[in-house]
Amino acid sequence: MLSTAIGLIVLLFHLAGIVAAVNAVMNTRTAQGAFAWALGLILLPYITLIPYLYLGRSRFRGYINRHRASRLQSREATSLLMAADASDASEAMRYQSIANLLDTRFYAGQRLRLLIDGDATFEAIFAAIGKAQHYVLVQFFIFHDDELGRRMQALLLERAAAGVEVCVLFDGIGSHALPKHYVQTLCAGGVTIHAFTTRKKSNRFQLNFRNHRKVVVVDGHIGFTGGLNVGDEYIGLKPPLAPWRDTHVQIEGPAVAELQRSFAEDWYWVTGELPPMAASQQIEGSALTLIAATGPADAQESCSLYFVSAIHAATQRVWLTTPYFVPDQAVMSALRLAVARGVDVRVLIPSRPDHYAVFQASGLYAHDAVLAGVRVFRYQPGFIHEKVMLVDDDTASIGSMNLDNRSFRLNFEISSLNIDRHFASEVETMLLADFAQSREVSADDYTKAPYLRRLIMHVARLFDPVL
């Protein structure tokens, strides 16, 4: 009797695995991902079926159609607030494919400030919020109820008490550990706060389509974006990953309107309403800036293509920093071709893992990159989380985009692409300091590693689609 019941359970698992495998083949975005899921679901459904419910099923057609319709409605509503004078400067023409892909544009006249670490970033953000007169828009993937999180909470409550309209978005999965009382305290103090969810109705079986963007806008005049979240680890207060290395950028000028638009689209999706918005100010700045907001609802795989286009535009150098180096074939091919053109290609990655499987897969990709002529470095003092790209001597990208499948295809991301020689020189100085504290990876790192470690790297790479 018991053996019959066990046999029936095993049969049901395999039948469910076959059904899920068909779903994976029909809906997974890449052939590699579809094959990996289908093989696991058919052969080992009792191991892979539950993870598939959480990590697979990544193409909800109805969701995507609704999100596109929502984005169109919010864009129509915010179009009058956008700056009319887009830039047609010749320096920006080599990135025109990015502008066309994302239906956006470069704006002239930005004033940029490079925020090299967590202390500088939150000092600048808190100072700007503290001076808010009309409204504050705040969006982070992660909020923690710790020292930094409570400082943010207290400041937002103070501004709300002063009559400033405060709107806050956090990701429901990224901030899964955020206690209810943190949100309730903000609500009681007049702050409007919502969790970004994949669909209008919560789905506890869906971990994809996360909102990984980091955006702060104050009164429409000043904006921030980059790699940091709201938590003590981001200011280096949590070993063993401390000191935490990250970067943000402060933007003043017409491009701030595009940061507002990105926030407004996400806010409209969650609430059905638009947040407070104002026209951006014209200032005397020298930078050309394009705000690239990418996501799984885009018609193309826009985040991956963002990197491909920028790398193809390089004639002298491409320096990249990323905590997760799991590039897809298009990005890896672009890096190889850049090396073949004589471009100085460097990638800076962590020497310490915060996600073990990603770290092991990154090691194998680092080896492949080294063999292709890419110089790869591992940052030694602590964990490097910054997402920075330096192209030639005039272009720097700073935002939330990682070089992995989640950023390329599953997450909502944002980055600022800035053309300005002075700003690029500052970024170069910052990255040179990072490289000086790093160890260059050689082919021996892989070939002389123990066999078991190399095997783990290869096994980890099999899970590229969900890393």
Known catalytic residues?
212, 214, 219, 385, 387, 392
Query: What is the rounded distance in angstroms from the CA atom of residue 202 to the CA atom of residue 205?
Result: 9
Query: What is the rounded distance in angstroms from the CA atom of residue 383 to the CA atom of residue 237?
Result: 12
Query: What is the rounded distance in angstroms from the CA atom of residue 7 to the CA atom of residue 121?
Result: 58
- State how far the alpha carbon of 462 is from the alpha carbons of 41, 42, 455, in Å: 14, 16, 11
Tell me if residue 350 falls in helix, strand or coil: strand
Query: What is the rounded distance in angstroms from the CA atom of residue 79 to the CA atom of residue 347?
Result: 38
| Tokens linked to 388 | 């920075």
Query: What is the rounded distance in angstroms from the CA atom of residue 66 to the CA atom of residue 63?
Result: 5
Query: What is the rounded distance in angstroms from the CA atom of residue 334 to the CA atom of residue 338?
Result: 6
User: Could you tell me if 291 and 399 are in contact, meaning their C-beta atoms sit under 8 angstroms apart?
Assistant: no
Alpha-carbon Rg for the chain, nearest whole angstrom, is 22
| Tokens linked to 158 | 């103070």
Query: What is the rounded distance in angstroms from the CA atom of residue 353 to the CA atom of residue 365?
Result: 15
Cross-strand partners of 224? 216, 250
Query: What is the rounded distance in angstroms from the CA atom of residue 291 to the CA atom of residue 82?
Result: 13
Handedness of CA 40, 42, 46, 50 (dihedral sign): positive
Between strands 244-245 and 222-226, the pairing is: unpaired
Check whether the bond before 450 is cis (ω within 30° of 0): no
Residue whose entry in the numeric block shows the structure tokens 């319709």 = 69
| Tokens linked to 152 | 């943010």
Q: What number of other Cβ atoms are within 10 A of residue 311's Cβ?
A: 22
| Tokens linked to 255 | 């491009």
User: Could you tell me if 312 and 392 are in contact, meaning their C-beta atoms sit under 8 angstroms apart?
Assistant: no
Query: What is the rounded distance in angstroms from the CA atom of residue 336 to the CA atom of residue 345?
Result: 9
